[in-house]
Amino acid sequence: MSLSRFLIKRSLQGLFVIWGVITVVFGLRFISPGDPANVLLPPDVDPEVRAQVIAELGLNEPLYVQYWQFISGIPFGDLGLSLVTRTPVAARVVARLPATMELAIAATIVAVVIAIPLGVLSATRRHQPADYGATVFSLVGISTPNFWLGVMLILVLAVQLNLFPTSQRPIGLDGIAMLLAGGDVGAAVDGFVTWLWHITLPAITLGTYFTALITRLTRSGMLDQLGQTYVRASRAKGLPETLVRYKHALRNTLIPVITVIGLQLGTLIGGAVITEAVFAWPGLGTLIINSINARDWPVLQGSLIIVAVGFVLVNILVDALYAYVNPQVAYD
């Protein structure tokens, strides 16, 4: 199977999953026993308002009509109206996306940049102090709840030492791009410094688990690869140790690591939600939490759909990368 056919097949599967996700989200209204309106409305609401809302949401229509109404708008970006602000859900969700993506990407960069060298170091210096240090770090890292780590970072670095702000995102990369487009380079640089200053603690909070996880995977993968016969064969044919380690072993180590990173994206987004809650970071996570607290179900549904679609898209991307790096996949 060629790479392009592999990708087409993967995209069709992705489309199916997205349809499934939308259907599950639609079904969220019905998981509570009894009248779906009970889920949507507080029990003590005025009956008139209740009737109005039910009519407005089409809850008295037959199920298939409701499903069609729900699903038909989505391809055109219509995720319905917020119950609270009466504004389109799609616009609110999209407005929150940059903050969450910045956080997720910053955390991933932190994780990859630290974890892969650390894992390699740990594997190539097995049973030496560096290895023990990396092993302890990764054990503690995967066992620490990130929200607590965030609280501790705020406690020590923000409150006690006053090195970093405790919360907020005064400017985002989108804002900085606007400044640059407007030609105000000085303000853009200032903005970037501010952004960096504010995102440091959230990025560490979100990235630590992944740093620990990838360190662990890289270490064990590298140890596994270094024990393979082909490594011995590479040495036997005269390759220098750098080539053996970093061209041969590391590359085969990274192939499964990429898969795991793809699988862990859900954890990354879940982690972003709670990190945002700790740092009052105005992303999708805070939107989701606020919408639950406000019982603003359309916003919750829209956010869930966007998160899941993003997850599916990034996974297709990861699969493409995987197939590109690992030639065997395309033929299986």
Phi, psi of 86 (to 5 degrees): 60, 25
Q: Which of 252, 279, 299, 316 binds other proteins (CB under 8 A)?
A: 252
Which stretch, 54-62, 92-100, 195-203, 230-238, contacts other proteins (CB under 8 A)? Answer: 230-238
Give least dist CB 204 to other proteins, A: 16
Q: CA 168 → CA 153, 156, 198, 241, distances in Å?
A: 15, 17, 7, 47
Does residue 312 bind other proteins (CB under 8 A)?
yes
CA pair distance 107, 211, nearest whole angstrom:
9
Which listed residue (6, 10, 21, 320) binds other proteins by CB under 8 A? 21
Q: Which of 8, 65, 109, 152 binds other proteins (CB under 8 A)?
A: 152
Bridge partners of 88? Answer: 81
Q: 122 near 221, Cβ under 8 Å?
A: no
Can you list the positions of beta strands (E) in the chain? none
**Calpha distance 256→17 (Å, rounded):** 23
User: What's the N-to-C CA distance of the chain in angstroms?
Assistant: 7
Residue 290 binds other proteins, judged by CB under 8 A: no
178 belongs to the binding site for other proteins (CB under 8 A): no
Contacting residue, 12, 91, 139, 193, with other proteins by CB under 8 A: 139
Q: Does 62 bind other proteins (CB under 8 A)?
A: no
Q: Is 247 in the site for other proteins (CB under 8 A)?
A: yes
171 is an interface residue for other proteins by CB under 8 A: no
Considering only 7, 95, 142, 260, the residue that binds other proteins (CB under 8 A) is 142
Tokens read off for 22: 């939308």
Q: Dihedral (C-alpha) 141, 143, 145, 151: value to the nearest 10 degrees?
A: -50
Restricted to residues 99-138, the positions that interact with other proteins (CB under 8 A) are: 132, 135
Residue 131 CA: distances (Å) to CA of 70, 75, 95? 54, 50, 44
Asked whether position 168 contacts other proteins by CB under 8 A, the answer is no
Of 6, 7, 10, 13, the one binding other proteins by CB under 8 A: 13
Q: Taking contact as CB under 8 A, which single stretch among the options 65-73, 76-84, 87-95, 218-226 is the one that binds other proteins? A: 218-226
Helix (H, G, I), strand (E, B) or coil at 285: helix
Contact with other proteins (CB under 8 A): which of 154, 179, 199, 299? Answer: 154
Compare residues 26 and 195 and give the one whose CB is closer to other proteins.
Answer: 26
